[in-house]
Structure 1
Amino acid sequence: MARSHTLPRNDSPARGFSLKGLLALLGPGIIAVLSWLGAGDLITSSVAGSNYGYAMMWVLAVSLLLRFLIVNIIARFQLCNNQGMSILEGYAQLHPLFAWFMFGYALLMGHLMNAYMIKGAGEALATLLHINQPLLCSFAVVLAVWLLVGRNVYSLIEGVMKLLLAIMTLAFLSLAIMSKPDVGSIVAGTVGFSIPADEGVHGALLVAVSIIGAVAGSIANFVHPYVMREKGWTGPEHKRLQRNDLLFAVIVGIVINLAIWIVGAEILRPNGLEVNTLNDLAAALEIYFGQFGWFLFFIGVFATLFASIAGKTTAFPRLITDAFQRIRPARRERYGKVFHADPLHKWFTLFILVTPLVWSLPGMPDFVTLTLAVNALNIVGLPIISLGLLIMSNQKSLLGNYRNNWFENLALGAATILAVWVAFTLATDLFA
């Protein structure tokens, strides 16, 4: 869970290089990477690589570019608008329906995103413990998150989880380098702009939409402004620092996603392995590192999922409470700007954490299918999010000279059109 940090009163650069000082400045970016890098990236990139090689690498490139643009515009609006509005206040002042949409969408996607993560964490823990009780393990994960989040001991546990995540990431990076990837094929796939014929259980279009949803359309992109505010970045003077910090986060995301994709394309695909379960992805590390690689993967996956569940259980109720207080302004006047003070915040937290357990019951979709489907569903909200952002980030009365440039407007317009087209095509494909 993110901790509050306070900027020094003097925001000028330090005279000497300090690693501690650098890490202090990069807080929101590091938190963004940990928030974004979850099962969605792990599954979508590995499935795309193992099933389709590098043919859809362009989808990842476009999605990461859109993520940077969308999150940067969101952050800039919050930092530079002359009314001190949060991003949700910006949406709400356009039309009350935007507040209703963000409330319902955050509630739904918070539930569904935690659903596949809790299911995956339960499966990973059951595998590590060598017990065939994934549902029981999912219950244990939910209980642990509820008991630990927000308490002093959680900072230590969170640090351990981040360390394990870093070790697993290094393992994937090592595998990607050892596999000697075909750079020419990566470049060709990045500029190819084509959807290949379906291979395996998961269709190419579903995988492509899942990548776009997991990266560019994720409602988790709205968590970044809340982390910025906790950091103390609240005005235009922090705009450059915020942009460089976000650029750092996206570059790290590119490296990690590319490494996972390469592992799928260069190790899983040649060995005829499709990613239908977590064990299939663990096989990549097992091929090169033996039993230790298998163990490292499941430890890393569990750490990634546990940290993501805790992060989303902390962040989503803030977003939901904020949206609801835009619908019911009297609650903000009654309880103030501290979200925890609103009694509904606790109930939103319970909803986000407990109700997803239903997806871990026997007979529900498997972990990989659920992950792909939920991330594909993100595409439904992208047109409304990008269209609203396009309008409010061009409001001269609020932003003055901090409005969008022509490229940002073009990109947001293209994202809206792309999302509508993809959602329509996917619906047509599913109901044909």
Structure 2
Amino acid sequence: MPADEDVLRTPDLTTPVSTRRWRIVGPGLVVAATGIGAGDLVATLVAGSRFGYALAWTVVVGVVIKIALVEGAGRWSLATGRTIFEGWRSLGRWTSVYFGVYIVVWGFVYGAAAMSSSALPLQALFPGVDLKVFAIGAGVLGGVMVWFGKYSFFEKVIAFFVGVMFVTVVGSAIVTLPNLGELAAGLVPTIPENGLVVALSVTGGVGGTITLAAYGYWLREKGWHSPGWMKVMRLDNGVAYVVSGVFVFSMLVVGAELLYSGGIALADGEGGLVQLAAVLGERYGTFMTWFFLIGFFATSFSSILGVWNGVSLMFADFVGTLRGLDSDDPRRRIGGLYYRVFVVWLTVPPMAILFLDRPIGLIVLYGVLGALFMPFLAITLLWLLNSSRTPAEWRSRWLSNSLMTICAVLFVVLGVQQLLTEVGKLFA
């Protein structure tokens, strides 16, 4: 046997499975990279710019609870051999109604948001080109890459962008010379005055929303499809979210060292990241502006790729399950009919939003449905993993249930807050 291979013995297989070390971590990295979008960088940057290192502990808590949540999704998939939507379907028809409306509305609005997010750093690098040109180009490129590419190709592309993100985002933090003493002090849980909402946002926003539920689909595409892969899945998930925590910590450091200490305020939203690139350039040279903007693009475009692939797989499974298709039916897999239908839905119709004023009613509906999804995911996983639907050996124990309950409570609080914000827009 080659020296660069490990032998992984799994309890349900009669022969050892040889796998290269670098292939152990895969789907977890995909779900973490997809979940860390520009919005997460903004939220953490805001926390650092307003409160310095005081909320560093929220990043750690966020990583731990997301590990628990994604582990639950992966455990369901491996222990039962069923997709997360098949699990939801077993809880009642109401889940299909909610998820069907949610995924269609979410896909339409998110498609435009993701394309715009990827276009912002490109326009900052090449200001002579219209934002819409870059946005449409990013959407089409992402669509083409996931339309033809198999999972193995997709995973390698995501790994490349994660490498770019690591070098640029973490490199930007290193350049600012973080104060390690203050950073260590920030790991002690405290909530500064007026910091509760920001603390909750950072804790709940470390890496992903609907793409967390896509983890089981990526496990299946990877070929991890039985309880024998449980230890590998947990290693994969843990390593990936530790990496995501490093990204988020890096933005906290940049916010604390560059903005908080200098009393610099940035614009709201993702435009603040473009402004941050300019601040880095003024402080450390023009190279740093380009350096950070490349990382900003890698962060946003990796989310396009992950959503275009993972959520399209979820849509294909949704339609296939409702139609009673066999689980191995090609229409429910990457490259299948229903998968490609949703890739088109994410790419083409949202382009209309780029040319129109913000459709406030649709945006509000998107926000309301989005506020409900994370509580829906956490609560239904608690339900599924503590019921007879899951084999007794793989049901949740006290630690998993405790962390999942914290997830559910946190996301209910954040969901109510977001609901109030979205409803407030109707009367603004």
Amino acid at match of 2:58: V
Decide whether the 8 Å contact of 1:387 with 1:416 is kept in 2.
Answer: yes
8 Å CA contact 1:165, 1:300 repeated in 2: no
Q: 1:27: Cα distance to partner?
A: 2.1
Question: 1:88: Cα distance to partner?
Answer: 1.7
State how far apart, in whole Å, the 2-side matches of 1:405 and 1:90 are.
19
Task: Show the counterpart of 1:281.
Answer: 276
Aligned residues of 2:27 and 2:236 also touching (Cα < 8 A): yes
Give the equivalent residue in structure 2 for 1:17.
none
Q: Note if 1:116 corresponds to 2:113.
A: yes
Partner of 1:264: 255
Q: What is the identity, as a one-letter code, of the residue corresponding to 1:239?
A: M
Contact 1:55 1:196 survives alignment (8 Å)? no
1:3 is aligned to none
Aligned twin of 1:385: 377
Helix, strand or coil for the counterpart of 1:79? helix
Partner SS, residue 44 of structure 1 = helix
Counterparts of 2:151 and 2:27, CA distance in 1: 19
Shift of 1:11: 3.4
Structure 1 residue 401 corresponds to structure 2 residue 396: no
For 1:352 and 1:96, how far apart are their aligned partners in 2?
25
Q: 1:347 to 1:163 in 2, by over 3 A?
A: closer
Distance 1:332 1:307 in 2: 31
- Alpha-carbon distance in 1 for matches of 2:266, 2:163: 22
Indicate the residue corresponding to 1:312 in structure 2. Answer: 307
Equivalent residues of 1:122, 1:138 under 8 A apart: yes
Other structure's SS at 1:349 match: helix
Report the alpha carbon displacement of residue 234 of structure 1 after superposing the two structures with TM: 1.0
Find the aligned partners of 1:378 and 1:27 in 2 and give their Cα distance: 27
**TM score, norm. by length of structure 1:** 0.81
Instruction: Indicate the residue corresponding to 1:413 in structure 2.
Output: 405
- Write out per-residue CA displacement over residues 113-172 of structure 1, whole angstroms, 9 at most, x where no aligned residue: 333221122222222222151122212222333344333699989967854652442233
Aligned to 2:227: 236
1:391 partner amino acid: W
How far did 1:333 drift?
A: 8.3
Tell me the SS of whatever aligns to 2:285.
helix
> 1:297 offset after TM fit, Å?
1.9
Offset from partner CA, 1:67-125 (integer Å, 9 cap, x none)? 100110111111112xx212221121122222332333333333343332211222222
1:247 is displaced (CA, Å) by 0.8
Q: Specify the code of the residue in structure 1 equivalent to 2:339.
A: H
- Asked if the contact 1:116/1:359 (under 8 Å) is kept, the reply is no
1:8-407 paired onto structure 2 within 5 Å: 11-12=8-9, 21-81=20-80, 84-131=81-128, 133-151=130-148, 163=160, 166-194=163-191, 196-197=193-194, 205=197, 207-208=198-199, 210-215=201-206, 218-276=209-267, 277=271, 278-287=273-282, 289-326=284-321, 328-332=322-326, 338-339=332-333, 343-361=337-355, 363-364=357-358, 378-396=370-388, 398-407=390-399
Which secondary structure state, in structure 1, belongs to the residue aligned with residue 349 of structure 2?
Answer: helix
Residue 179 of structure 1: how far off its partner (Å): 3.3
Q: Is the 8 A contact 2:27 2:155 kept in 1?
A: no
Which amino acid letter does the alignment assign opposite residue 236 of structure 1? P
TM superposition shift of 1:287:
4.2
Q: Read off the aligned partner of 2:302 and give its amino acid letter.
A: A
Q: What is the identity percentage for the equivalent residue pairs of Structure 1 and Structure 2? A: 25
Q: Give the partner amino acid of 1:351.
A: W
Amino acid across the alignment from 1:422: L
Q: Distance in 2 between matches of 1:374 and 1:261?
A: 28
Deviations 1:156-193 (A, max 9, x none): 89967854652442233234334343445434444434
Supply the RMSD in Å over aligned alpha carbons.
Answer: 3.5
Q: Tell me how far 1:403 sits from its aligned partner.
A: 0.9
Distance in 1 of aligned mates of 2:192 and 2:175: 28
- Rounded Cα–Cα distance in structure 1 between residues aligned with 2:328 and 2:243: 41
Alpha-carbon distance in 2 for matches of 1:91, 1:154: 25
**Secondary structure of 2:224's partner?**
coil
Aligned CA distance change for structure 1 residues 354 and 284 (closer, same or farther; 3 Å)? same
Give the 3 Å change call, closer, same or farther, for CA 31–345 of structure 1 in structure 2: closer
Partner Cα separation in structure 2 for residue 335 and residue 240 of structure 1: 28
Q: Is the 8 A contact 2:219 2:225 kept in 1?
A: yes
Partners of 1:156 and 1:409 lie apart in 2 by 35
Change (3 A) 1:162 1:339: closer
